Amino acid sequence: MAEQGIVARLAALARLELDAGEADTLERDLGAILEHVERLRALRLSDVDATYWTTQAAQGMRPDEHRPGLEVEDALSSAAARAGRFLLVPGMREDG
């Protein structure tokens, strides 16, 4: 079960602004989902290895050689703001 006020803490970690209505709904949903997965938590699996990937065999690496990549102009073409070859972003505050 999700503890009280957890959504506000998670939203801060996830850099996500929520309005009050959204936060209430998400707190309820999170509680219901976590309650549902309790069954899985209860299984004794400590002696089972984890599977993080299901790729079949070790895949090859590309040759380590220089080749053309994305042009800066293309890479920045969708940015909200830029200054020459750089992304322009709002400033950071000391307490931010």
Binders of another protein among 4-63, rule CB under 8 A?
A: 6-7, 10-11, 13-18, 22, 25-26, 29-30, 32-34, 36-37, 39-41, 43, 45, 48-57, 59-62
d(CA 11, CA 22): 11
First-to-last C-alpha distance (Å) of the chain: 30
Among the listed residues 65, 66, 78, 84, the single contact to another protein using CB under 8 A: 78
Residue in the structure block whose two tokens are 């070790």: 58
Question: Taking a C-beta distance cutoff of 8 angstroms, is the pair 76, 82 a contact?
Answer: yes
Question: Taking a C-beta distance cutoff of 8 angstroms, is the pair 19, 7 a contact?
Answer: no
Size of the site for another protein (CB under 8 A): 57
Binding region for another protein (CB under 8 A): 2, 6-7, 10-11, 13-18, 22, 25-26, 29-30, 32-34, 36-37, 39-41, 43, 45, 48-57, 59-62, 70-71, 74-81, 87, 89-93, 96
